[in-house]
C-alpha cells in the first residue's frame, strides 16, 4: 500500500505545451502524469519548480547512435553514452536509425539494432529504418510487416553510394509509405553533382576539410529537394525533408506548400550556429570537426532558417547527432590519417546541446514563442512519428517525461557534456538556459549536476501511425 497517492509531485510549475502556458502542480504515478492542478496533495517525493518553465521532454527524432560504419570508422556514442547525453540535455526520447546494408534484409538490420540498444538506453527509444535495398521482398513483405510492428518511419537517401536510391526506387518506397501509413524522411542532395565536384576538387589538390562545403553547394540540395517534392507529388504521399540547410531548399519547400503539397521539413542546430567557415578558412584539418552533410552555409542562410522555424515552415528541430571522435583512427582521422574531405566521416555531435541552444537563441532572444519551441522539439516529432499523445505533451495520461528549465549564463564546454565525443562544435558558446531537471518516465535522469541511470532503463517504443497530417486517400495511379 503506497503512503501517498502520487510518486512525485512537481510543484508550482510554469507548464508550457505547444498550445498553452499555465501554472500547475504535476502529479506523477507509475511513470505517467495523472493529475494537473492547483494545490495537489503531497507526493511521496516533491520537487519545487517554483515558477520555472517546465516543458515536455524533448524528442530527438534524428540522431545516429552506434550505427554500423565501414571499418575502421566507428561511432563514438552507443545507446549508453548517447542516451545519457540526451537525458542531460533534456531529451527523453530518441529515434536513431537501423540501417539496411545493401544485400541484407531490413529485418536483420532491425534485429541487429535491437541487440545494440536493448538494455543500454537510459531514455525511451524507437527506430527509424534506412531503406538502402528495396527488393520486392523488402517492399512487399518486410517493410509492411515492420511498419505494423511499430517501426513507422524510414529514411531514404539521395546521396552516399552505399545508401542512395534512384528515383524509381524512391517512388516504390514512397508507395509503401502511402499504403501502410508510414512517415518517409528524405536526405536530399544530388549524388552525381557531388561526385563530379569532388573529383575536380581532389584532382586539383583541394582536399582540405573546407572543400567538403564547396563540393556540396546549395544547388545540389535545391535540385534534390525539388526532385523529392516531385516524387512525393507523384506518389501522392507526404514526405519530410531532413536537415534543411538554407535558402535554396527552403524556397523549394515554400513553393511546394504554396501549391498545396504536404511537405514537412526538419532543420538542426548546425544550420543556425555554424557556417562553412567552421570547416576552415585555411587548410587546417580542425575543420573536419564540422564536416556534416549538408554543410553549414553562411549567416544570411542562418537567418532564413530562423525565419522558417518561426513562421511554421519547419515541422521539427532535431540534432542529427552523428558522433565521431576528432583525434581518432575510428573517427575524423580514419586509420590515423588526415584524409581528403571526401573520406572524412560526416557528422557532428549535438544531442545534448540541441534544446538549450534553441531555448537560448530562440525563446529567450525573442525569435520564437515558448509554445513553438515545444512544438518543434517535442509535440510535432511525437505526431509525425506516431508517439502522440503518449509523448510530446504535458497532459493527463502522457508519460512523465519532463524538463525543468533554469535560466542563467553558462558556457558550453565539452568537459561538461555527457557524450563520448572528444569535442563539441559549440565549445565556449554562451547559453542562457539549460535543463536543471529531466524526468524520464517519472524518474530523475538529470538533476542539473549529475546523470542518474533510469532503473529498468529506457523502453523500446512501438510507434503508431503519424497523426500530424490527415490520413491520405487512395493513390491516383
Ligand atoms: N549527414 C547525414 O545525412 N547523416 C549523418 C551525419 C551527416 O552529416
Ligand atoms: Zn541525412
Ligand atoms: Zn543524419
**3-state SS string for 281-293:** CCCCHHHHHHCCC
| Per-residue pLDDT, 222 | 98
Is 80 exceeded by the pLDDT of residue 2? no
Q: Is residue 283 situated within a structural domain? A: yes
Q: Which of 16, 18, 76 is nearest to 347 (CA)?
A: 76
Q: Is residue 156 situated within a structural domain? A: yes
pLDDT per residue as tens digits for the range 394-411: 999 999 999 999 999 999
C-alpha of residue 458 to centroid of ligand 3, in Å:
22
Q: Is residue 392 situated within a structural domain? A: no
C-alpha of residue 320 to centroid of ligand 3, in Å:
5
3-state helix, strand, coil in the chain (%, to 5): 35, 20, 45
C-alpha of residue 472 to centroid of ligand 3, in Å:
27
Cell 549529475, located at residue: 450
Q: Is residue 409 situated within a structural domain? A: no
CA–CA gap between residue 87 and residue 334 (Å, rounded)? 29
Q: Which of 271, 273, 275, 349 is nearest to 308 (CA)?
A: 271
What is the best residue among 61, 64, 66, 349 to mutate for testing ligand 1's pocket, by most ligand atoms within 8 Å of CB? 64
Cell readout for 372 is: 513553438
C-alpha of residue 155 to centroid of ligand 2, in Å:
8
CA–CA gap between residue 180 and residue 98 (Å, rounded)? 19
Q: Is residue 211 situated within a structural domain? A: yes
The model's confidence at residue 1, banded by pLDDT at 50, 70 and 90, is very low
| CB-based pocket (< 6 A), ligand 1 | 64, 187, 292-293, 320, 322, 346-347
| Per-residue pLDDT, 471 | 74
Whether residue 427 contacts residue 94, with contact meaning beta carbons closer than 8 Å, is answered with no
Which atom belonging to ligand 1 lies closest to the Cα atom of 346?
8
Per DSSP, the residues of 61-116 read: -SB--S---STT---S--HHHHHHHHHHTTEEEE--EEEPPTTS-HHHHHHHHHHH
Which atom belonging to ligand 1 lies closest to the Cα atom of 160?
3
Whether residue 134 contacts residue 164, with contact meaning beta carbons closer than 8 Å, is answered with no
The CATH number of the domain holding residue 117 is 3.20.20.140
Cell 508517439, located at residue: 387
Whether residue 122 contacts residue 80, with contact meaning beta carbons closer than 8 Å, is answered with yes
Whether residue 248 contacts residue 224, with contact meaning beta carbons closer than 8 Å, is answered with no
- Measured by CA distance, the residue closest to atom 7 of ligand 1 is 347
407, 411, 293, 252: CA torsion to nearest 10: 40
C-alpha of residue 64 to centroid of ligand 3, in Å:
6
Q: How many domains are contained in the chain? A: 1
Tell me if the pTM is above 0.95. Answer: yes
How long, in residues, is the chain?
477
CA-based angle 26:30:31, to the nearest 5? Answer: 60
C-alpha of residue 147 to centroid of ligand 2, in Å:
21
454-459: average pLDDT: 86
| Per-residue pLDDT, 476 | 67
CA–CA gap between residue 230 and residue 98 (Å, rounded)? 27
The model's confidence at residue 153, banded by pLDDT at 50, 70 and 90, is very high
Mean pLDDT of the chain: 97
Phi, psi of 345 (to 5 degrees): -55, 130
C-alpha of residue 63 to centroid of ligand 2, in Å:
10
Per DSSP, the residues of 351-364 read: TTTHHHHHIIIIIT
CA–CA gap between residue 182 and residue 152 (Å, rounded)? 5
Print the domain residue range for 244. 58-372
Q: Which of 445, 464, 469 is nearest to 388 (CA)?
A: 464
pLDDT per residue as tens digits for the range 98-140: 999 999 999 999 999 999 999 999 999 999 999 999 999 999 9
CA–CA gap between residue 332 and residue 74 (Å, rounded)? 10
| Per-residue pLDDT, 456 | 76
CA–CA gap between residue 382 and residue 217 (Å, rounded)? 32
What is the best residue among 228, 293, 350 to mutate for testing ligand 1's pocket, by most ligand atoms within 8 Å of CB? 293
CA–CA gap between residue 6 and residue 431 (Å, rounded)? 34
- Measured by CA distance, the residue closest to atom 3 of ligand 1 is 293
Which atom belonging to ligand 1 lies closest to the Cα atom of 292?
8
3-state SS, residue 340: coil
The H-assigned helical ranges of 350-398 are 354-358, 370-374, 380-384
pLDDT per residue as tens digits for the range 354-385: 999 999 999 999 999 999 999 999 999 999 99
Q: Is residue 322 situated within a structural domain? A: yes
* Angstrom distances, CA of residue 48 to CA of 14, 142, 437, 440, 475: 11, 48, 11, 17, 53
Cell 533554469, located at residue: 406
C-alpha of residue 468 to centroid of ligand 1, in Å:
25
Q: Which of 170, 315, 164 is nearest to 232 (CA)?
A: 170
* Residues near ion ligand 3 (Cβ under 5 Å): 320
pLDDT per residue as tens digits for the range 203-227: 999 999 999 999 999 999 999 999 9
C-alpha of residue 477 to centroid of ligand 2, in Å:
29
Give the ligand whose atoms come closest to the C-alpha of residue 61: 3
| Helix or strand holding residue 29 (H, E) | strand 21-29
Cell readout for 116 is: 545494440
CA–CA gap between residue 120 and residue 394 (Å, rounded)? 26
| Strand pairing report for 153-157 and 263-267 | unpaired
* Angstrom distances, CA of residue 227 to CA of 26, 231, 234, 261: 47, 6, 10, 13
Q: What percent of the chain has pLDDT over 90?
A: 96
Give the ligand whose atoms come closest to the C-alpha of residue 322: 1
The model's confidence at residue 58, banded by pLDDT at 50, 70 and 90, is very high
Which atom belonging to ligand 1 lies closest to the Cα atom of 64?
5
- Measured by CA distance, the residue closest to atom 6 of ligand 1 is 347
Q: Is residue 231 situated within a structural domain? A: yes
Q: Is residue 472 situated within a structural domain? A: no
What is the best residue among 241, 243, 274 to mutate for testing ligand 1's pocket, by most ligand atoms within 8 Å of CB? 243
Amino acid at each position: 500500500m503506497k503512503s501517498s497517492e502520487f510518486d512525485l509531485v512537481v510543484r508550482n510549475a510554469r507548464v508550457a505545451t505547444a498550445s498553452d502556458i499555465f501554472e500547475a502542480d504535476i502529479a506523477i504515478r507509475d511513470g505517467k502524469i495523472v493529475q494537473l492542478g492547483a494545490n495537489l496533495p503531497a507526493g511521496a517525493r516533491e520537487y519545487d519548480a517554483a515558477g520555472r518553465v517546465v516543458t515536455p521532454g524533448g524528442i530527438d527524432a534524428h540522431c545516429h547512435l552506434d550505427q554500423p560504419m565501414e571499418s575502421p570508422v566507428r561511432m563514438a556514442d552507443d545507446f549508453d553514452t548517447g542516451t545519457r547525453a540526451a537525458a542531460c540535455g533534456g531529451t527523453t526520447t530518441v529515434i536513431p536509425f537501423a540501417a539496411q546494408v545493401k544485400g541484407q534484409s531490413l529485418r536483420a538490420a532491425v534485429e541487429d539494432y535491437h541487440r545494440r540498444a536493448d538494455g543500454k538506453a537510459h531514455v525511451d527509444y524507437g527506430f527509424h529504418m534506412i531503406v538502402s535495398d528495396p527488393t520486392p521482398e523488402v517492399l512487399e513483405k518486410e517493410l509492411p510487416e515492420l511498419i505494423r510492428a511499430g517501426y513507422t518511419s524510414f529514411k531514404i537517401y539521395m546521396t552516399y553510394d552505399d545508401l542512395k536510391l534512384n528515383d524509381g526506387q524512391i517512388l516504390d518506397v514512397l508507395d509503401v509509405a502511402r499504403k501502410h501509413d508510414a512517415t518517409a524522411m528524405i536526405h536530399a542532395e544530388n549524388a552525381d553533382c557531388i561526385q563530379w565536384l569532388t573529383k575536380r576538387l581532389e584532382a586539383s589538390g583541394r582536399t582540405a576539410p573546407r572543400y567538403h562545403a564547396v563540393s556540396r553547394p546549395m544547388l545540389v540540395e535545391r535540385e534534390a529537394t525539388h526532385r523529392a517534392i516531385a516524387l512525393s507529388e507523384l506518389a501522392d504521399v507526404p514526405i519530410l525533408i531532413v536537415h534543411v540547410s538554407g535558402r535554396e531548399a527552403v524556397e523549394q519547400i515554400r513553393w511546394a506548400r504554396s501549391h498545396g503539397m504536404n511537405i514537412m521539413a526538419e532543420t538542426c542546430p548546425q544550420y543556425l550556429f555554424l557556417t562553412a567557415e567552421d570547416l576552415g578558412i585555411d587548410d587546417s584539418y580542425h575543420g573536419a570537426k564540422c564536416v556534416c552533410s549538408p554543410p553549414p552555409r553562411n549567416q544570411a542562410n542562418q537567418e532564413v532558417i530562423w525565419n522558417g522555424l518561426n513562421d511554421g515552415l519547419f515541422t521539427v528541430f532535431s540534432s542529427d547527432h552523428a558522433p565521431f571522435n576528432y583525434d581518432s583512427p575510428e573517427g575524423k582521422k580514419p586509420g590515423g590519417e588526415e584524409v581528403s574531405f571526401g573520406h572524412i566521416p560526416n557528422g557532428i555531435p549535438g544531442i545534448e546541446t540541441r534544446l538549450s541552444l534553441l531555448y537560448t537563441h530562440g525563446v529567450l532572444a525573442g525569435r520564437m514563442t515558448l509554445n513553438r519551441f515545444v512544438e518543434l522539439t517535442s509535440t510535432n516529432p511525437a505526431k509525425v512519428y506516431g508517439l502522440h499523445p503518449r509523448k510530446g505533451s504535458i497532459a493527463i495520461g502522457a508519460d512523465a517525461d519532463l524538463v525543468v528549465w533554469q535560466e542563467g549564463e553558462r558556457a558550453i564546454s565539452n568537459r561538461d557534456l555527457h557524450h563520448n565525443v572528444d569535442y563539441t562544435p559549440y565549445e565556449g558558446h554562451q547559453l542562457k538556459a539549460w535543463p536543471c531537471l529531466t524526468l524520464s518516465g517519472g524518474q530523475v535522469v538529470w538533476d542539473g549536476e549529475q546523470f542518474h541511470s533510469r532503473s529498468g532503463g529506457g523502453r523500446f517504443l512501438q510507434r503508431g501511425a503519424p497523426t500530424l497530417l490527415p490520413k491520405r486517400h487512395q493513390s491516383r495511379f
